[in-house]
Amino acid sequence: MKKLLQIILVLCTSVTLFACNRTEENKEDPEVQAQFDSYLDELFKDEIEADFLTFHYMLADPEAGGYEKPEVDWGSLTLESTKQSIEDSKDDLDKLHEFEKEKLTDDQQKIYRLLEIQLEYNVEYENYYMEYGFCFGENKVNDNLITNLTEYRISNEEDVEDFIVLLEDVDRYIGEGIEATQQMADEGYIQKESEKEAILEQCRNFLESEEIEKYFHDEVMQLEELSEAQKSDYEAQVAEAVANDVKPAYENIITLYEQLPEAENQGSLAERETGKAYFEYLLKTQVGKERSVDEWIKIVEEEIEDTIYNWINIMFRTDIDAELENVELPADNAVDLVHYLEGCLDEEFPAIEQVEYRVDYLDASVANNLVSAYYVIPPIDAPDQNVIKVNPSNTDLVDLFSTLAHEGFPGHLYQNNYAVQNGQPKIYYLLDNLGSSEGWAEYVGMDAYRIGHIGSEDFQEYMRLYSYLNRMLNEYIGLQVNYNGWQSDDIADYLDSIGLVSDIAQDLYEDAVLRPAMYAPYSLGTYEVYALREKAEDALGDNFDVLSFNQALLDAGTVHFEIIEQEIDEYIENSK
């Protein structure tokens, strides 16, 4: 199997995981189970060795694991390589189906289903890649390439040399993306003007920056194995590669998008012939839960109504403005706030061993104004290399506190280390589901003030509801715009009908058109976690225990919600 994760963003599920009752004819078979374990080991090795960036980011000491270093490059952006990946997924699905699932252990069946669903959606992408599979855009190659370079782990001289090789390969890699984009344009598939402008702005901003050179300088200066002369020489090579291979490639992206004709359709996915089907595909792959869009719309509409009702009730009985003005946080910087949150986990979250981590402020030249902070997942063989990066321009500590809970404790950093310390199989690192991962981080991040014992109970609940309402409002508008064709006037009417300010309707419309389903893992993922908790609370009543529920969620892993649902059902049954 090659590049299992290349095609789609995240995986999802659509059917029941597996039958729990085994017949005599289809009982567990130790020989088949051993073969499946060998298959998984081989699969993981193939995936790691198929792509250099995956290899570098996931392994700190590949030689110790017996992994062979792949060629140092960025991979391929040609339409032919995408088509080949789809064909490979078809072959891999056939190979997976050679195993008799009923003869596997329950845990193996869970992994089997995760692989099956991932491959099924890789194959389904065949219907959409030519029309929608653009290389460039927000959170696509032009953005992610720079992020990969400015988060590239440099631990020794070999890393330095590989970094320079990657820089020198940018021109070839971006060139393939430009050719693919032009091929799509020749077939009549062209991005909207709003997308073009976002791409042009990002590329122009990069051309004015020195973020790669600055990042490399900071990293190479920490390498004691290199002399000052060697460091200086490598810095000169990096500067030359950026000037000759990286920035010219971004200039070529600008030239491409300045010359492309205007697309006929500047509206939402709902206005395109295949747009609704593609939007459904985006939702189910982003969230990890298959529901119809109409069902999602009904759910989100009800969540908004209930949240507004509870939110307003708090404002009627509590002077929230006064609390907001006088709220006292336990520290005035990100480092100490993360340390404080780390000490607030005892009552509701299962204990983990002491975790090593750093909290760093980004340099202003590297920081993205749209991102307050983010967590850098460590290599799987070096789980102590946890890093949280914080944007120094975010001076609103009230907002930052919940963000740090989302990224740190008890969010992504804690979630990842819980999985590591509890023996998560390696293959799970290739099958992470964004919806359940972000659903957990939002679930705890929105509740940061209660978890951190800050403010009154009404204040804590107000902050949670405020965050959830914002998520759900943006999601509702995105669903209506991209599936039912709402325009800005429809958004304004809706906001007026629920008593909210409607003068931002045009901005909300443009955002929904530019970023279809981008926020779904956060909003709909959070809803799914809340729904599971409500199900457990209703079923268990006085026997419900938040710590054991959270542990059940964490034990399930960041997988499809149907799978998590089954494990929560088992938790409920065992807790009665």
Q: Compute φ and ψ for 527, nearest 5 degrees.
A: -55, -45
Q: Which amino acid is at 484?
A: N
Distance of CA 328 to the CA centre of its chain: 32
The rounded distance, in Å, linking the Cα atoms of 407 and 428 is 20
For every one of its 576 residues, what pLDDT tens digit does the chain have, with 9 covering 90 and above? 333 333 322 222 222 222 333 444 457 899 999 999 999 999 999 999 999 999 999 999 999 999 999 999 999 999 999 999 999 999 999 999 999 999 999 999 999 999 998 999 999 999 999 999 999 998 899 999 999 999 999 999 999 999 999 999 999 999 999 999 999 999 999 999 999 999 999 999 999 999 999 999 999 999 999 999 999 999 999 999 999 999 999 999 999 999 999 998 899 999 999 999 999 999 999 999 999 999 999 999 999 999 999 999 999 999 999 999 999 999 999 999 999 999 999 889 999 999 999 999 887 666 666 688 999 999 999 999 999 999 888 778 999 999 999 999 999 999 999 999 999 999 998 888 999 999 999 999 999 999 999 999 999 999 999 999 999 999 999 999 999 999 999 999 999 999 999 999 999 999 999 999 999 999 999 999 999 999 999 999 999 999 999 999 999 999 999 889 999 999 999 999
pTM above 0.85, yes or no: yes
Q: How many CB atoms lie within 10 A of CB 257?
A: 22
393, 412, 388: which is closest to 337 by C-alpha? 388
Residue the block writes with tokens 């890789």: 122
- Per DSSP, the three-state class of 374 is strand
Reduce the secondary structure of 433-464 to three states and give it as a string: CHHHHHHHHHHHHCCHHHHCCCCCHHHHHHHH
pLDDT of residue 19: 31
255, 265, 275, 390: which is closest to 333 by C-alpha? 390
Q: All domains of the chain, ordered by start, with CATH?
A: 30-128 (no CATH), 141-268 (no CATH), 323-451 (3.30.2010)
Q: How many CB atoms lie within 10 A of CB 3?
A: 19
- Which letter does DSSP use for residue 135 in this model? S
pLDDT of residue 5: 34
